[in-house]
Amino acid sequence: MSLKSVHQIIDDCQAIFNDNSFSKARQWKDAVPGRKVIGYMPVYMPRELIHAAGMLPLGILGGGADMEVIHGDAYYQSYLCRIPRSTIELAITGKLDFVDGMVFPSICDVIRNLSGIWQLLFKDKYVRYFDLPQNFDDQIGGVFYVNELREFKQGLEKLAGREISDEHLHQSIALYNENRAWVNKVYDYRAATPWKAPAAEVYLLMRAGMVLPVEEHTDLLKSYLAAAEAENRPLRDNCRIVLIGTFCEQPPLNLLKSLEMAGCYIVDDDCMLVTRWLQQAVPTNGDPLDNLTKAFLHHSAETAAKYEVDLAVKGKYMLESIQKRQADGVIFAAPSFCDPALLDQPMMVDRLKERGIPYITMQYAENSGQMQPIREQAGTFADSIKLWSAS
């Protein structure tokens, strides 16, 4: 167990976050000849398969707030979100040249079509569009999904030049089970003591998990929890909010900091849902692909990109989060031009209105720079909750 302080841990995570060349992943690849790296985009990816193939799953979440997009705008019209243009910028400026393959999970038409751009522009790379079922019956969506997993596994085996055994998969599943458990502990810790685990720190911790090997990331989470508990930080008179809409294109780090500075502790969010998409530990015996399938069908998070079969259940995940995290309200922060987040939002808003739960809405791009309006809006929201809330 590391004896690093919170600041040292977060400084390391910040360095990983700032590094658009993914040096840590490059170092991992260079350390052993023949290693391979597979990039994946939001929202969900069964990283266990990539890991079991001996490869590094690398979460690609756009170029962030500071990367200048020069070429990307020639690939995308102004009325499309920013994540595809900054992702293509990363690729054509060579920052992903060490990545052996890219996987694009089904989330929206923009990311779907980005898979086609990869097919057109990077013909020497492994490219896979990974379709997730919108039917959750074991015999229908389940059969489809297990076959998709099998195809994906075969593709990885071909790339790796070796078979992925069930034993390897069980080991990888166990490692990701452990990682998810520690991710959840961090989220629980933040919800219980948000002044000890600021949102920006938790965010940077999770971002590090997009780059680091899972074993290393789990250790980092353990270290952080120990270090944060040892840190003496003041409790502020903030309200408690759940942040929704940030599941794909990422909010600027300054946005998260601004919300907390304005008086809103973030006690839950939907950033990087891949880290906690599966809500229960996946069994480590039996058929591993069946186990991953059942976990996806029956124990996965709800998000705008996933169809909710039952009208009565729509919004349950958000409402449970509000209750579990004892949140006072919700901030909907959606990326501009994000169809899933923006089309889902009115339905979620209705559920809050029905229950008298306060909310505000805002939009951002990953490179939004002006935080003053955000601070003012969030500050007013926090004040209104503190002044008028029944609690």
Partner 1 sequence: MSSTTVVKSPSQLLQKEMIGRNYDRITSGQSKVSSTFVPGNLNELLMCFDIANNLPEINAIQNAMRKKSGEMITNAERAGHSEDVCTYVKADIGMMAKGNIAPNGKPFPNPDMLLLSYTGCFTFLKWFELLREQYQCPTVMLHVPYAADGKPTQNMRDYIVKQLKEEVIPVMEKVSGIKFDIDRLREYLRKSAQAENDLVWMLEQSKHKPSPIDCYFGGVYYMGPIFTAFRGTDEAIDYYKMLRTEIEQRIALGLCTQTPEGDMPEEKYRLVVEGPPNWTSFRDFWQMFYEMGAVVVASSYTKVGGVYDYDNFRHDPAHPLESLADYCLGVYTNRNLPTRVGMLARNVKEYEADGLLINSIKSCNSFSAGQLVMMREVEKLTGKPGAFIETDLVDPRYFSAANVKNRLESYFQMIDQKRRAGGSVSAA
Interacting residues toward partner 1 by CB under 8 A:
74-77, 79-80, 84, 106-110, 112-117, 119-121, 128-129, 131, 133-135, 137, 139-141, 143-144, 147-148, 151, 304-305, 307-309, 311, 314, 334, 336-340, 342-347, 349-350, 363
| R_g of the chain, CA atoms, integer Å | 20
Nearer to partner 1, 140 or 192 (CB): 140
Name the token pair of 220.
């980092």
Nearer to partner 1, 115 or 291 (CB): 115
Nearer to partner 1, 176 or 337 (CB): 337
HSE of 342, CA atoms in CB hemisphere, 13 A: 12
Q: How far is the CB of 139 from partner 1 (least distance, A)?
A: 7
Q: How far is the CB of 366 from partner 1 (least distance, A)?
A: 15
Q: How far is the CB of 245 from partner 1 (least distance, A)?
A: 11
Nearer to partner 1, 121 or 230 (CB): 121
The secondary structure of the chain in percent helix, strand, coil, rounded to multiples of 5, reads 50, 10, 35
Nearer to partner 1, 199 or 297 (CB): 297
Name the token pair of 348.
């979620």
Nearer to partner 1, 224 or 317 (CB): 317
Burial (CB < 10 A; 0-12, 13-18, 19+), residue 238, is buried
In Å, how far are 128, 282, 346 from 21, measured between CA atoms? 22, 33, 38
Beta-bridge mates of residue 364: 335
Per the rule left: phi > 0, alpha: psi between -120 and 50, beta: everything else, 92 is: alpha
Q: How far is the CB of 336 from partner 1 (least distance, A)?
A: 6
Q: How far is the CB of 85 from partner 1 (least distance, A)?
A: 10
Q: Is 94 strand, coil or helix? A: coil
Name the token pair of 338.
């994000």
Q: How far is the CB of 286 from partner 1 (least distance, A)?
A: 22
Q: How far is the CB of 65 from partner 1 (least distance, A)?
A: 20
Q: How far is the CB of 48 from partner 1 (least distance, A)?
A: 20
d(CA 327, CA 342): 22
> What does the chain come to in residues?
391
Nearer to partner 1, 233 or 353 (CB): 353
Of the candidates 186, 275, 183, the residue with the CA atom closest to the CA atom of residue 226? 186
Q: Is 273 strand, coil or helix? A: helix
Of the candidates 274, 275, 253, 364, the residue with the CA atom closest to the CA atom of residue 42? 274
Name the token pair of 74.
């020639």
Nearer to partner 1, 78 or 285 (CB): 78
Q: How far is the CB of 342 from partner 1 (least distance, A)?
A: 4
Pairing of β 126-130 and β 101-105: parallel
Of the candidates 221, 270, 257, 235, the residue with the CA atom closest to the CA atom of residue 368? 257
Name the token pair of 107.
């989330």
Nearer to partner 1, 218 or 293 (CB): 293
